[in-house]
Structure 1
Amino acid sequence: MAVHSSSSKPKPDLMLQCLLSIALLFLSCAFAKAQLISDSLQIEGRYRSFHFNAPTQALRQPALVFVMHGSGGNGRGMMKAAEKMEQLAATSNTLVVYPDGYKRYWNECRKASPAQANLDDVNEQAFFTAMIGYFVKKYGVDTKQVFAVGTSGGGHMAYKLALTMPQQFRAVTALIANLPDTSNLDCVPSGKPVAVMIVNGTDDPINPYQGGPVVLGKNMNMGEVRSTDRTFAYWAELAGHTGSPTHETLPDTDPSDGKTVERFAYQTPGKPDVVLLKVNGGKHDYPNDLDVHVEALNFFRKQVR
């Protein structure tokens, strides 16, 4: 007769808990995978792709936020960086979209850029116009609440949208990027004001805070950019602001990162806000004291009055 020890058998309630945990894990993974949508639009003979998480609840004329990657990156790669913003957007009637640059680069406003997107003069305005139309048709987005935030080369793309498409973009945020120097600018500015927030580090070796050449690597000389102060002043003057901006030092929530953040802001009723977050000690990265994408989303919300 075989003898079985009852102590070697899992308890029924423990087995049930394990099975439920496995089932929930499987369902959550399947749901997360099903959420991501990747699509493309044909723009002047080129297929341009973009990515977004399908809304988990009904939207009513939602706002639309584009998140642009840096040079050499891609849209899906930005999803982790903007994760907290995405979570907030999901509960505030906002869609977040992550477009891909052409061959990993944008045709932004730097004349010297050797990127294929610039050499081929890819029509970025047509791409963004088509994406806005796509989301208007699919989700009924409010065309008066369209925004863009970009990092590095994506920040330059954000500047291009503000310079050339102010009727379609309510506000933009440029992270670790300065405007191209006037000698390196190949966009034709509209001359119309747009709300702009800039986040730049004072010790950035790639996007020099004081202006100068931007070199990404061998054979990737992007030409010269203006200083952060000149960039900030350009948008402030365009919006009609005068005098000195307000100034405050933000809480240093992570003293170990060696960075502190100061906020300079022009906020006048009836004029677009223009804000600079100066990251003292910041390099070509994000500060730990705040989430730059969450800051961008909060900035965008303030422009809807």
Structure 2
Amino acid sequence: MTRDLSRRRPRAPGAGPRAALAALLLALPAAAPAAPLPEGVERITLSVDGLPRTALVEPPAAADGQPPAGPLPTLILLHDMGQSARQVRALAALERAEPLKDWLRVYPEGAERTWNAGRRRVDGGEAVRMPDVAFLRALVAALAGQGLADPSRIVLAGFGEGGSMVLRTLCEAPGLAMGAAVVAGSWPASLHCAQGRPVSVLMFHGTEDPFVPYAGGQAPPARKVGAGAMASVARTASSLAALNGCRAPSDETLPAGGRKRLWFACEAPMIAWRIERMGHRWPGSPERGRAGDGLGPPVPEGAPDATVLIAAFFVSLAERPGP
């Protein structure tokens, strides 16, 4: 029987994140049996609009026998279309990022391995009909309600379609996250950001991405992405810059090819990395990819490490003094 999440039990004073996670697991409906998870990772299930939704939750490891005191800054990472939470966890390998060692890391599962990122069919209907913004709101509320996540220090990151879902969430759930990172994802051409407000964003895009074309448009037919074209990376960046009230950007050429673009006088920081001759990849991942796997050119030598840069970006946001 699904329990009422509105009556969550508060976290006991001094309890560590794993104790709070154990309490959350008791308060949530049990997930269906699945393959064994990596050590230290738990699966939780929520009911959102009557539908079961799941996420992997990874509290920080205890140091010297003492877990970090919660509630914790929390990174929520969304997988690409066709991926799973476990796959994006392996791809990003967040455990490599020392600044995130005391953070809660959460990996939601998209229904049928995709997200309702805001794509529209030619008749104007949603290409994917799932309440994914509501799911992310409910996930944050559940984690915060058990004292695991600090609701004032939530950041979102996404790869591919997960990155596009992050952009939609920034528009439709303003204030849910204090910052976001998007890797190989762009703005759905049909997405309008009427409710959005300034938020810090870090982006990474490869110029040879076959699934999220740098110049925008439809992905190849073999990529089953549903209806709806994607905006170009330039339009995605300009839309975010307008949202953040930024002035003209400054560019820095990268030694390995590409560009780092930094916007100034923004209400919230914004940085975009353009990586030449890279396909649909997570730069810096242990899984660099290979030619011929259908994802475009592999990560070039000397490319920036997205995981390390995302960690530094998010930690700097979390450490800024509040208003």
Q: 2:250 aligns with which of 246, 249, 259?
A: 246
CA shift, 1:78, in A, is 1.2
1:173 aligned partner: 181
Q: Residues 175 and 72 of structure 1: is their aligned pair in 2 closer, same or farther, counting only changes over 3 Å? A: same
CA shift, 1:58, in A, is 2.4
CA shift, 1:223, in A, is 2.1
The aligned amino acid for 2:259 is E
Whole-angstrom CA distance in 2 between matches of 1:119 and 1:239: 28
Whole-angstrom CA distance in 2 between matches of 1:52 and 1:86: 17
- Residues 275-290 of structure 1: pairs in structure 2 closer than 5 A: 275-287=271-283, 288=299, 289-290=303-304
Q: 1:263 aligns with which of 246, 260, 263?
A: 260
2:93 aligned partner: 83
Whole-angstrom CA distance in 2 between matches of 1:112 and 1:176: 22
Q: Which has more radius of gyration?
A: 1
User: Within the alignment, does 1:96 sit opposite 2:105 as a pair?
Assistant: yes
Between structures 1 and 2, the one with greater helix share: 1
8 Å CA contact 1:65–1:146 kept in 2: the answer is yes
Please provide the CA RMSD for this pair: 2.6
8 Å CA contact 1:215–1:221 kept in 2: the answer is no
Whole-angstrom CA distance in 1 between matches of 2:72 and 2:159: 24
- Residues 157-168 of structure 1: pairs in structure 2 closer than 5 A: 157-168=165-176
8 Å CA contact 1:273–1:303 kept in 2: the answer is no
2:270 aligned partner: 274
Q: Deviations over 1:171-207 (max 9, x none)?
A: 11111112111xx33x653141221222111121221
- Residues 1-305 of structure 1: pairs in structure 2 closer than 5 A: 33-56=38-61, 57-85=67-95, 87-88=97-98, 90-91=100-101, 93-112=102-121, 121-181=129-189, 184-185=190-191, 189-215=194-220, 217=222, 220-243=225-248, 245-252=249-256, 260-268=257-265, 271-287=267-283, 288=299, 289-304=303-318, 305=320
Whole-angstrom CA distance in 2 between matches of 1:247 and 1:147: 25
Q: Residues 138 and 201 of structure 1: is their aligned pair in 2 closer, same or farther, counting only changes over 3 Å? A: same
Gap regions ≥5 residues in structure 2:
1-36, 62-66, 284-298
| SS of alignment partner, residue 229 of structure 2 | strand
CA shift, 1:249, in A, is 2.7
Gap regions ≥5 residues in structure 1:
1-31, 253-259
| SS of alignment partner, residue 219 of structure 2 | strand
Whole-angstrom CA distance in 1 between matches of 2:254 and 2:144: 37
The aligned amino acid for 2:55 is F
1:3 aligned partner: none
Whole-angstrom CA distance in 2 between matches of 1:189 and 1:283: 31
2:33 aligned partner: none
8 Å CA contact 1:85–1:293 kept in 2: the answer is no
Whole-angstrom CA distance in 1 between matches of 2:107 and 2:49: 20
8 Å CA contact 2:171–2:194 kept in 1: the answer is yes
Which consecutive segments of 4 or more residues in structure 1 shift more than 3 A? 84-87, 218-222
Give the TM-score, by structure 2 length: 0.73
Give the TM-score, by structure 1 length: 0.77
